[in-house]
Amino acid sequence: MIRPALLLALLSALPLSHAAPVLSTVSEQSGFQATGRYEEVVKLCAAFQKAYPKAVRCFEFGRTPEGRPMLALAVSRTGALTAEQAKQRKLPVLLVQGGIHAGEIDGKDAGFLALREALEGKAAPGALDKQVLLFVPVFNVDGHERFGKWNRPNQRGPVEMGWRVTSQNLNLNRDYVKADAPEMQAMLALVNQWDPLAYIDLHVTDGAKFQPDVSIQVEPVHGGDEALKAAGLALRENVMADLRKQGSDPKHFYISFAKTDDPQSGFVDEMSTPRFSTGYFQLRNRFAMLVETHSWKDYPTRVRITRNTIVSLLDQVAQHGAEWSKLAREADARSAAMAGKDFPLSYRTTDRTQMIGFAGYEYTRTPSDISGALWTRYDESKPQLWTVPLRDEVVPDFQVKAPEGGYIVPAAYAAAVGEKLKQHGVSFRTLQSAPGRIEVETFRAEKSRLTPASFEGRQMISVEGAWKAEQREFGKGALFVPIAQPKARLVMTMLEPRGADSLLAWGMFNNAFERKEYMEEYVAEEVAREQLAADPSLAAAFKARLDSDPAFAKSARARLEFFARRHDSWDERFQLYPVVRTALTNLR
């Protein structure tokens, strides 16, 4: 919540006359040439609440690392509601988020405009009677205040804008699963509290010069619950139809060439991984929409298109929100019954190709004496219809079966993993007694590869291996994460080791793949000879490895390790993923 003293100060700063508070933005007042600083968001949040006290509630849901308030407006004609009241009234919640990349700030100005017009009855009439609009004008608040004229050199307007990443140099749209940023942790808490039916992520794309002005991508469409995929497709197509009626040329795929800077390479649609909003929310059985206006359209045009998208969404949720909420609840029930069923950890785009007409401009590609590469130059005075390939068939790729019972996290890792599970609203329990030695499935990496450089502050890792049955000992304080819960898809995404955005992939368990104990070479030499003398079959295996593997034969370290792995001193936990799968459901 906004602190009472702060809210009182903001409200008292508004005009004392009976005139309505000013609800237009700096952007609107400038003819959509400029955008305001975050101070304007703070004032407008309070002003909307004062102007519409029975419909708007302005509140703080977090603080940034630099101490700025993260603000949201909860808006409904049924009252200035809390999350609990919205649930009691069974109102679907539409969460519209601007400024996750704060240089791409169309959503803030378009959102305030759409909100004012909806409250005035000039846009989406009656829509706010049937839902709650949860509007976050700026997600990346600290990045928003890193203001400058050239923060987006390939974007037309506004005059100045914020910065892409947070004050901690984190990209929030890579943070949905690992949730390192305090801003993301605040957002996930907001999402857990309000459980929005749809989460709308407003952006401005990078890329080439062409005529289409916006892309609309929705999930579940490619992945997720089958029944929700049909509803997600309907949501996408309905919004795109509304935009076409208003003169836009929306596309259902991310408008970025398959090969950088080469228009003739066409486009490839794909399923986003869960680090992105559209890849994340389908795991919660909720809708997510990525809106990407085109950076080379001017700011008035982009704000208008974003405003039109928000208004369309208000209409869609008003018309279909009750039906889609029922589908989401049914999807929750199906997820809670996933035990033993296949679950895709990744998706791929097939080679199936169709040729499409795409409205571009005439262009040339000539060798550059600066870069030495081909230089693409567009002539926006000469529209041209390109015929280019599009690959947009997306199918499940790597799949695993859900465990029958769930996952066990050893007590040594319980605090760190438990904190992540809490941030996502995942259900789990701490074992109050030691289950002792039980049958489980363990994953031991046959190969592990660390990334050569950090990404988003993490050194990521990928592993190869398989789950195998064995008995292991567990004590009091371990965590049991049941698969029988609505967020089962999210549970598997976080805890299956081979997922691209698993906690393992993001480096939470890197220490499990580091060898800690060694024997000196002179000791290893003696151990090797003792083993060879005691076991003729081992001697034969060693010789066969020398004859068949030249790299092994040339490596003194690998040759000695061959014997060290067979010695009692070898660390049996090396390359062992600490989290296990279990068929048990009654662990307490």
Angle ∠(291,324,280) on CA atoms, nearest 5: 45
Contact present, 492 and 400 (Cβ < 8 Å): yes
- Do residues 411 and 389 share a domain? no
* 569 occurs within a structural domain: no
Task: List 391's β-bridge partners, or say none.
Answer: 268
- Do residues 46 and 159 share a domain? yes
Alpha-carbon span 222 to 349, nearest angstrom: 10
Q: Which domain holds residue 463?
A: 403-515+574-582
Note the pLDDT of residue 15: 44
Alpha-carbon span 580 to 404, nearest angstrom: 12
Phi, psi angles (nearest 5°) of residue 585: -120, -10
- Do residues 259 and 325 share a domain? yes
Task: List 151's β-bridge partners, or say none.
Answer: none
- Do residues 267 and 160 share a domain? yes
Sheet holding 354-367: strands in order across? Answer: 267-268, 374-391, 354-367
- Do residues 382 and 413 share a domain? no
Note the pLDDT of residue 179: 98
User: pLDDT (tens digit, 0 to 9) for every residue of the chain, 588 residues total?
Assistant: 445 445 444 444 444 445 668 999 999 999 999 999 999 999 999 999 999 999 999 999 999 999 999 999 999 999 999 999 999 999 999 999 999 999 999 999 999 999 999 999 999 999 999 999 999 999 999 999 999 999 999 999 999 999 999 999 999 999 999 999 999 999 999 999 999 999 999 999 988 999 999 999 999 999 999 999 999 999 999 999 999 999 999 999 999 999 999 999 999 999 999 999 999 999 999 999 999 999 999 999 999 999 999 999 999 999 999 999 999 999 999 999 999 999 999 999 999 999 999 999 999 999 999 999 999 999 999 999 999 999 999 999 999 999 999 999 999 999 999 999 999 999 999 999 999 999 999 999 999 999 999 999 999 999 999 999 999 999 999 999 999 999 999 999 999 999 999 999 999 999 999 999 989 999 999 999 999 999 999 999 999 999 999 999 999 999 999 999 999 999 999 999 999 999 999 999
* 587 occurs within a structural domain: no
Question: Looking at beta carbons, which pairs linking 381-385 to residues 24 or more positions away fall under 8 Å?
Answer: 383/211, 383/359, 384/359, 384/360, 385/357, 385/358, 385/359, 385/360
Tell me the chain's radius of gyration from C-alpha atoms.
Answer: 27
Note the pLDDT of residue 3: 52
Alpha-carbon span 402 to 343, nearest angstrom: 7
Alpha-carbon span 73 to 135, nearest angstrom: 5
- Do residues 509 and 360 share a domain? no
* 341 occurs within a structural domain: no
- Do residues 156 and 30 share a domain? yes
- Do residues 87 and 125 share a domain? yes
* 98 occurs within a structural domain: yes
- Do residues 475 and 548 share a domain? no
* 318 occurs within a structural domain: yes
Note the pLDDT of residue 21: 84
Read off the CATH number of the domain in which 184 is found. Answer: 3.40.630.10
Sheet holding 429-430: strands in order across? Answer: 429-430, 479-482, 406-409, 580-582, 436-450, 461-474
Domain count, the chain: 4
b/e code 201-232 from CB counts within 10 Å (16+ = b): bbbbbebbbbbebbbbbbbbbbbbbeebbebb
Note the pLDDT of residue 19: 63
- Do residues 289 and 391 share a domain? no
- Do residues 309 and 383 share a domain? no
Note the pLDDT of residue 1: 45
Is there a cis peptide before residue 578, judged by omega within 30 degrees of 0? no
* 343 occurs within a structural domain: no
Q: Give the residue from 395, 411, 430 where a domain finishes.
A: 395
> Which of 206, 203, 214 is closest to 104 using CA atoms?
203
Structure token digits, residue 334: 């199906």
- Do residues 330 and 357 share a domain? no
Side chain identity at 90, as an amino acid letter?
Answer: K
Is there a cis peptide before residue 220, judged by omega within 30 degrees of 0? yes
* 340 occurs within a structural domain: no
**This prediction's pTM:** 0.93
Q: Which residue stretches of 246-298 are H helix? A: 277-281
Which residues, 6+ apart, have CB-to-CB distance to 231 below 8 Å?
220, 287, 320, 323, 324, 327
Alpha-carbon span 367 to 520, nearest angstrom: 57
* 438 occurs within a structural domain: yes
* DSSP assignments along 217-251, one per residue: EEESSSSS-HHHHHHHHHHHHHHHHHHHHTT--EE
